[in-house]
A and B are shown apart, each in its own frame.
Chain A
Amino acid sequence: MLSYIFRRVLQSVLVLLVVGLVAFAMFRFVGDPIDNMLGQERTMEDVERLREQLGLDQPFAVQYWRFLEGAVQGNFGISYRQGRPVAEIIAERLPATLELAAVSGFFALVVGIGLGVFTAIRRDGFASNAIMTLSLIGVSLPTFLIGILLIYLFSVELGWLPSFGRGEVVQLGGWSTGFLTQSGLLALILPSITLGLYQMTLIMRLVRSEMLEVLRQDYIRFARARGLKEKAVNFRHALKNTLVPVITVTGLQLGSIIAFAIITETVFQWPGVGLLFINAIQFVDIPVMAAYLMLISVMFVAINLAVDLLYVAIDPRLRSEGGTS
């Protein structure tokens, strides 16, 4: 068991190194930060001096090595655009993204399971057909468009909800939260729906098909034959048995909610790490781009590692290969 864990951790570190390498190899195609850092009246001498100062005249392998050297010491360098330590900027922006991801994940789970159960029980009803059709539209419209449509409906036409930003936030230690103010909560609604819509449809469809499967099982028929109430059959017996795959999928999707928050954050000017990354690309802010990509890949690698380890804990067959544990 131990050697298996050790091997998996080693693999994960390797994946991270490769991600970093690919990222640094690609930065040269994103453009040259120098033009963004100097005004139009700069001399060629200024350009060369700054390039040297930032180490951009070095081959990308050297730049990558320097980044790694700093990163293992927790130093991700200094943002070209803001002139502040990248770690500080990311720590400042991360709460916004995590809160948004948590709320949209919650929304997707609750509404997804609810609608999934509903459409499975009333599989031929008008309402469930309508929901299924609408959900197709929901998946096929791009996030950007959904966000803009929601903004025009709820902010411009109805004036109920803010069109951008995070509202008022409260600082709790190093964490800025929007959960404690009214404007903060209102500001969460539209972006969470926009971000969670796809996951919601996914969960709904998953629950529905699992439910339909389970409802055909013998024990459900027996439960009905025993004269149990419809509610008890549906929720106590059927739903419980559909949840295992739903939980697995939801866990894995949480990673992509955080990673795909970029578009939602741009549409709603949501001050999270996704918006920071978009800014960084436009400015060719290499330290910020590198740190963000590493952060996201660490997250994915960690989730996958946890899942793999859980499988090992559950499934004894995976253990035998490792030998003596």
Chain B
Amino acid sequence: MKRALILTATALCVGSAATAETFRWASTTDPQTMDPHAVSSAPVLGFLNNVYEGLVRRGRDMSVEPALATGWEPIGEGEGWRFTLRQGVTFHDGSAFNAEDVIFSYERAASEESDVRSWFAAVSDVVAVDDYTVDILTTSPQPIFPDSIANWMIMDSGWAEANGAERPARDEENYATRNANGTAAFMLSERQPDLQTTLVPFDGWWGEVEHNVTEAIFTPIQNSATAVAALLSGEVDMINPVPVQDAERVDAADGVTVIRGIEARVIMLGFAHDHEALRNGEPNPFGDVRVRQAVAHAVNVPAILQTIMRGSAEEASQLVSPAMRGYSDANADRPALDLEAARALLAEAGYADGFGFDLSCPNDRYLNDEAVCQAIVAMLAQIGLEVTLDSMPVSNYWPELRADNFDMYLLGWSPGTFDAEHPIRFLVHTSGERLGTWNFGGYSNPRIDEMLPMIQSEIDDGARQAMLDEAAGIIQDDMVYVPMYVQPLLWGTGEGVSLTQRPDNFFILRWVTMN
């Protein structure tokens, strides 16, 4: 009898060891499509990075490394880039990868139906030199082009054509919405939107396998308390994110670890630069740089980080974090907390008695966004500013900002290209059809507008950095925005799981090992 029991126990152990490599993970948002060109959002692109690959990819430290291209070099004096493609790569369905797929994927991703077409704004043509060489021609020199296409994923032209998915589907479904045929280390084996998505390793992958996952199951869990419970009970092996306020408790639990890092997202305050009047009808003081500087000196960022972010975030001095390319070391200091100086600046600007205005704030977009705004209201009260908090769900927030219905607002920005040029293009350049599309406050500076195309096309790294330094200096001196902190990343992992957390918050399955 005893022996029988022992045998059963061993069998059970063996059984669980064999299934131990099924990796389960959960996150708040389900990737809404499996089409890599239909939606440009972090949940979609992050998930699909496990299934599709681009010509280049980002490594553990975000550096750009070869993927479907083995090398690349500029053509002439900035006429474009020549990519040498990897040979012997096959898609998950077995068809071979070559230049035709690259051209097809360019046409697909740059089409009007695509949500990622802005990556190709400067591309004039893509030409196959031979089966494994592709020239991407640009209208102006594009020094960081290879960096900017790390998420441009290559789709098999034959597969897409055979299944009628030649163009991304945005407001209806096509074959590529729920099926995938990429070249990456994992294949899509089952897709149930909103419920469960299963990946299995692709045996024919060209790269060197570092993971030991035999099956990976993703489940969206919206409620963070439920996700934490699922992690603690061992039902999932990884969750993203762990709520800031639960991080310590989760970390203290047996076998569970919280991996902390910082994201690429900088949280900042924006101003109504060009409004005639505030929402309460009074004249708008935020056109005056001294008022904006006063706000910067009054916001106690270290206190916000310590209390609301529980020490998980880092202070920010400019619109990008230090990990980004083009970060300006010369402008690394953020305005110090100095209430005296803030009051003096207000007095100088003619507001010695302060004034009242509204702070617009989302309450479901960034980590603890509403709590941060409440803290800012209290901090600004100390220099005589009477702030009314107007917080709302993000679905209402962007329309309000677009309608210029704000005085001061909270914004987070994560540069898609991981380069300092990105926020200048979208947040600082004079607002227009393609540029400055998120510059709600209407800041306008001819020098910035003049420099942006120069930054975009400067091939020499030193000269480019000099311009980025100048731009960062202008933005800081004019206090266009008050950058506050870089948002933290908090992932929770179960026992025996090791993985790599990348600052873009992408979860890369091929770096997972389970013991």
Which A residues fall within an 8 A CB radius of B?
Answer: 29-33, 35-45, 50, 53-54, 78, 80-84, 148, 151-152, 155-156, 159, 162-165, 266-269, 271, 275-276, 278-279, 282-284
Known contacts A31-B396, A82-B193, A83-B170; is-contact A39 B41 (Cβ 8 Å): yes
Q: Are B219 and A269 in contact (CB under 8 A)?
A: yes
Pairs of residues from A and B, 3 with the lowest C-beta to C-beta distance, nearest first = A31-B395, A39-B40, A41-B118
A204 to B399, CA, bound (A): 49
Q: Are A276 and B194 in contact (CB under 8 A)?
A: yes
Known contacts A42-B437, A43-B437, A54-B171; is-contact A282 B233 (Cβ 8 Å): no
Taking CB atoms, residues of chain A closer than 8 Å to B173 are 78, 82-84
A245 to B177, CA, bound (A): 51
Contact of B171 among A80, A165, A282 (CB under 8 A): A80
Q: Are A43 and B433 in contact (CB under 8 A)?
A: yes
Q: Are B233 and A39 in contact (CB under 8 A)?
A: no
> What is the distance, in angstroms, from B149's C-beta to the closest C-beta of chain A?
13
Known contacts A31-B395, A43-B434; is-contact A268 B226 (Cβ 8 Å): yes
Taking CB atoms, residues of chain B closer than 8 Å to A45 are 433-434
Q: Are A83 and B169 in contact (CB under 8 A)?
A: yes
Q: Is B481 an interface residue (CB 8 A)?
A: no
Q: Are B229 and A156 in contact (CB under 8 A)?
A: yes
Q: Is B410 an interface residue (CB 8 A)?
A: no
Taking CB atoms, residues of chain B closer than 8 Å to A29 are 396
A286 to B29, CA, bound (A): 18
Which residues B223-237 have CB closer than 8 A to chain A?
A: 223, 225-227, 229-230, 232-235
Taking CB atoms, residues of chain B closer than 8 Å to A83 are 32-33, 169-173, 177
A32 to B118, CA, bound (A): 22
Taking CB atoms, residues of chain B closer than 8 Å to A78 are 171-173
A269 to B239, CA, bound (A): 14
Taking CB atoms, residues of chain B closer than 8 Å to A284 are 395
> What is the distance, in angstroms, from B340's C-beta to the closest C-beta of chain A?
38
Size category of the B interface is: 35 or more
Closest to A36 in B: B395
Known: A40-B426, A78-B173. 12 other contacts (CB 8 A): A31-B399, A32-B396, A37-B39, A44-B434, A78-B172, A82-B173, A83-B33, A83-B169, A151-B225, A269-B220, A269-B222, A275-B222
Report the tally of A-B residue pairs with Cβ distances under 8 A. Answer: 134
> What is the distance, in angstroms, from A276's C-beta to the closest C-beta of chain B?
7
Contact of A165 among B170, B219, B233 (CB under 8 A): B219
Which B residues fall within an 8 A CB radius of A?
Answer: 32-33, 39-41, 115-116, 118-119, 169-173, 177, 193-195, 219-223, 225-227, 229-230, 232-235, 364, 393-399, 414, 416, 426, 433-434, 437-438
Q: Are B33 and A267 in contact (CB under 8 A)?
A: no
Q: Are A269 and B171 in contact (CB under 8 A)?
A: no
Closest to A283 in B: B395
Closest to A81 in B: B32
Q: Are B233 and A32 in contact (CB under 8 A)?
A: no
A148 to B33, CA, bound (A): 30
- The 27 sampled A-B contact pairs (Cβ below 8 Å) are A31-B395, A31-B398, A31-B399, A35-B394, A35-B399, A36-B395, A37-B39, A39-B116, A42-B115, A43-B433, A44-B434, A78-B172, A83-B32, A148-B226, A148-B229, A151-B229, A155-B230, A159-B234, A163-B233, A164-B227, A267-B223, A267-B225, A269-B226, A276-B194, A279-B222, A282-B393, A284-B395
Contact of A37 among B169, B170, B219, B414 (CB under 8 A): B170
Taking CB atoms, residues of chain A closer than 8 Å to B438 are 40
A102 to B115, CA, bound (A): 43
Q: Are A42 and B398 in contact (CB under 8 A)?
A: no
Q: Are B115 and A164 in contact (CB under 8 A)?
A: no
A39 to B220, CA, bound (A): 20
Q: Are B226 and A151 in contact (CB under 8 A)?
A: yes
A135 to B396, CA, bound (A): 40
Among A162, A164, A284, max chain B CB count under 10 A is at A164
A83 to B394, CA, bound (A): 21
Known contacts A35-B395, A39-B116, A155-B229; is-contact A271 B416 (Cβ 8 Å): no
Contact of A155 among B172, B233, B426, B434 (CB under 8 A): B233
Q: Are B393 and A31 in contact (CB under 8 A)?
A: yes
A31 to B118, CA, bound (A): 25
A40 to B171, CA, bound (A): 18
> What is the distance, in angstroms, from A229's C-beta to the closest C-beta of chain B?
47
Closest to B169 in A: A83
Taking CB atoms, residues of chain B closer than 8 Å to A162 are 235
> What is the distance, in angstroms, from A51's C-beta to the closest C-beta of chain B?
11
Contact of A164 among B41, B172, B230 (CB under 8 A): B230
A232 to B434, CA, bound (A): 82
> What is the distance, in angstroms, from B400's C-beta to the closest C-beta of chain A?
9
Taking CB atoms, residues of chain A closer than 8 Å to B394 are 31, 35
Closest to A44 in B: B433
A41 to B39, CA, bound (A): 11
Q: Are B230 and A163 in contact (CB under 8 A)?
A: yes
Q: Are B41 and A163 in contact (CB under 8 A)?
A: no
A33 to B395, CA, bound (A): 7
A82 to B195, CA, bound (A): 12
> What is the distance, in angstroms, from A157's C-beta to the closest C-beta of chain B?
9
Taking CB atoms, residues of chain A closer than 8 Å to B39 are 37, 39
Taking CB atoms, residues of chain A closer than 8 Å to B393 are 31, 282
Taking CB atoms, residues of chain A closer than 8 Å to B177 are 83-84
Q: Are A164 and B194 in contact (CB under 8 A)?
A: no
Taking CB atoms, residues of chain A closer than 8 Å to B171 are 37, 50, 53-54, 78, 80, 83
A256 to B220, CA, bound (A): 26
Contact of A30 among B230, B234, B395, B397 (CB under 8 A): B395
A151 to B228, CA, bound (A): 10
Q: Are A35 and B437 in contact (CB under 8 A)?
A: no
Taking CB atoms, residues of chain A closer than 8 Å to B32 are 81-83
A149 to B426, CA, bound (A): 45
Closest to B41 in A: A39
Q: Are B221 and A269 in contact (CB under 8 A)?
A: yes
A53 to B113, CA, bound (A): 12
> What is the distance, in angstroms, from B26's C-beta to the closest C-beta of chain A?
8
Known contacts A36-B395, A44-B437, A151-B229; is-contact A271 B195 (Cβ 8 Å): yes
Known contacts A37-B170, A155-B229, A271-B194; is-contact A30 B396 (Cβ 8 Å): yes
